[in-house]
């Protein structure tokens, strides 16, 4: 079959409803009632409770595995599986770990052990062996002769070239490596040629947390047409779905994403300010009052040296300014010993509230315990040592926010994008103004129902009359 456009896959209905928006293929793949997804938030902020609550409402959400131990991840999977019934959707976040690839494999092995069927893969610039192992494990051929995957990957990307590697079958070299080491079998290796690494590609435009500051108007159409091209070349038996994330906090924004061609939408920032999000009340109080212009950019602590960026709250906190200053110092100097005493005093007294020696000693213990082979390299490289000291501040500022340490609000690191400011404006004057009344699933449903009404209204205003 030759695909002309995504419309070939679209099922038409007479009126637009919350349940009909987006793609059927997506909803079926994830047993989801809506083409609406709640994205992962690190350190379990998208908590096990959040995942269970949305799963019970037929909404797919992903548990935030970033920065938490394998034991905790396994406990959370057990918690979720015990509470959700068969067929209620849920998934886990799978993060690329460049610094510790063995951890990424441990996470995948845990998912496979517990039969976690859906992952949201993020932070990938290229395809890795753990990701392929997850995808390829359990491949089978159905009665029609088509290859079926039991493990679904929804890949979050912000660049077309990364989107494309996810749309293609897994790289041969990785398949050979996994086969050789006995991690997949012959049959799985052979069948892997007939499926994409991910059937679902979520295009992430400017968002809360890590961001390439992309623009949905540019990215979604480009990646959507790329998916049509790839489907024609590869003759997959199932549709590649394209999603949109970043900046979605109102029905109008979700409607724009569907009009751009999205098969599903994904939200992040708005879900952190809900009863189920596992962060402090102090953070939620700040979030509830945010406006659109109250977020800004800072370096990302986990990718500090390569200059990756994230979007955070800037109102009422010095975190982005301080984090940007640390990055500037890192670029300008080769060693912390090059900083003048005034700057050292400022960092110690205002940013860290402890001496550089104390921070270094804490950092050293972390490396000794977790990544001992990196410690020598860091100790012998003054620039790397400076980076690891500065990176401590990112870990510290997240802890302050999540614990809600009241006298250090100015150092809170809170990932968030302007979608929340837009949401706050939308619900102003309603009972949802107070975060204590905000539940993730209720928000998701509300957005989808209002998006359907909004689109109906817009379509009739544009002169469309159903035949
Ligand atoms: C507090 C917070 C933490 C996040 N942590 C993660 C994460 O650990 N893994 C991930 O894939 N995405 C993470 N994200 C991104 C979201 O899953 C989602 O893709 C993004 O927030 C969507 O854009 P929006 O914030 O404009 O809605 C995080 C976002 C926020 C707001």
Predicted local distance difference test score (pLDDT) of residue 1: 40
In percent, the amount of the chain with pLDDT more than 90 equals 93
The total of other beta-carbon atoms located within 10 Å of residue 7's CB is 9
Confidence of residue 14 (pLDDT cuts 50, 70, 90): low
Predicted local distance difference test score (pLDDT) of residue 255: 98
Give tens-digit pLDDT for 126-145.
Answer: 999 999 999 999 999 999 99
What string of DSSP letters covers 196-256?
Answer: -S-SEEEEE-S-SEE-----HHHHHHHHHHHHHHHHHHHT-SSPPEEEEESS--SHHHHHH
Coil/strand/helix, residue 298: strand
3-state helix, strand, coil in the chain (%, to 5): 50, 10, 35
Establish whether residue 272 lines the binding site of ligand 1, counting it when its CB lies within 6 angstroms of any ligand atom: yes
Predicted local distance difference test score (pLDDT) of residue 371: 87
Helix (H) or strand (E) holding 211: none
Rounded to an integer, the average pLDDT of 95-110 is: 94
**Atom of ligand 1 at shortest distance to CA of 66?**
8
β-bridge partners, 141: 147
The structural domains of the chain, ordered by start, are 6-279 (3.20.20.70), 318-411 (no CATH)
Q: Whose CA is nearest to atom 8 of ligand 1?
A: 42
Mean pLDDT over the full length of the chain? 95
Interval between CA 40 and ligand 1 midpoint (Å): 6
Q: What is the dihedral of CA 10, 14, 17, 23, to 10 degrees?
A: 0
Confidence of residue 98 (pLDDT cuts 50, 70, 90): confident
Give tens-digit pLDDT for 228-268.
Answer: 999 999 999 999 999 999 999 999 999 999 999 999 999 99
Give tens-digit pLDDT for 305-362.
Answer: 999 999 999 999 999 999 999 999 999 999 999 999 999 999 999 999 999 999 999 9
Helix (H) or strand (E) holding 267: strand 264-267
**Measured between alpha carbons, how far is 87 from 58 in angstroms, rounded to an integer?**
9
Interval between CA 268 and ligand 1 midpoint (Å): 5
């Amino acid at each position: 079959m030759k695909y002309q456009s995504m419309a070939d896959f679209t099922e038409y209905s007479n009126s637009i409803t919350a349940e009909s928006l987006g793609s059927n293929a997506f909803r079926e793949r994830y047993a989801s009632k809506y083409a609406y997804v709640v994205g992962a938030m690190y350190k379990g902020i998208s908590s096990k409770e959040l995942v269970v609550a949305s799963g019970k409402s037929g909404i797919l959400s992903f548990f935030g595995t970033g920065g938490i131990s394998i034991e905790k991840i396994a406990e959370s999977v057990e918690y979720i599986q015990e509470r959700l019934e068969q067929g209620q959707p849920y998934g886990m976040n799978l993060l690329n770990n460049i610094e510790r690839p063995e951890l990424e494999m441990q996470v995948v092995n845990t998912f496979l052990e517990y039969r976690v069927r859906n992952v949201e893969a993020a932070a990938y610039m290229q395809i890795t062996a753990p990701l392929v192992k997850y995808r390829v494990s359990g491949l089978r051929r159905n009665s029609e002769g088509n290859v079926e995957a039991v493990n679904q990957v929804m890949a979050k990307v912000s660049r077309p070239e990364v989107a494309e590697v996810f749309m293609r079958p897994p790289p041969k070299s990785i398949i050979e490596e996994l086969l050789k080491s006995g991690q997949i079998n012959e049959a799985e290796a052979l069948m892997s040629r007939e499926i994409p690494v991910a059937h679902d590609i979520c295009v992430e435009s400017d968002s809360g947390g890590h961001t390439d500051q992309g623009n949905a108007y540019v990215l979604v159409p480009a990646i959507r047409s790329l998916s049509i091209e790839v489907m024609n070349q590869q003759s997959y038996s199932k549709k590649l779905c394209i999603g949109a994330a970043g900046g979605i906090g109102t029905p109008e924004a979700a409607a724009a994403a569907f009009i751009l061609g999205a098969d599903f939408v994904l939200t992040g920032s708005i879900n952190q300010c809900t009863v189920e999000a596992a962060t402090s009340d102090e953070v939620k109080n700040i979030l509830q009052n945010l406006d659109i212009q109250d977020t800004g950019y800072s370096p990302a602590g986990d990718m500090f040296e390569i200059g990756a960026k994230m979007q955070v709250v800037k109102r009422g906190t010095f975190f982005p300014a301080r984090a940007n200053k640390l990055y500037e110092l890192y670029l300008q100097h080769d060693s912390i010993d090059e900083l003048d005493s005034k700057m050292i005093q400022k960092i110690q007294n205002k940013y860290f509230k402890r001496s550089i020696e104390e921070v270094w000693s804490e950092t050293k213990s972390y490396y000794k315990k977790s990544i001992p082979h990196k410690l020598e390299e860091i100790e012998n490289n003054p620039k790397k040592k400076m980076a690891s000291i500065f990176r401590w501040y990112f870990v510290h500022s997240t802890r302050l926010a999540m614990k809600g340490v009241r006298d250090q609000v100015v150092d809170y690191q809170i990932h968030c994008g302007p979608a929340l400011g837009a949401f706050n404006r939308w619900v102003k004057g309603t009972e949802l103004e107070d975060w204590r009344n905000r539940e993730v699933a209720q928000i998701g449903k509300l957005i989808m129902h209002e998006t359907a009404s909004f689109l109906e209204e817009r379509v009739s205003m544009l002169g469309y009359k159903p035949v």
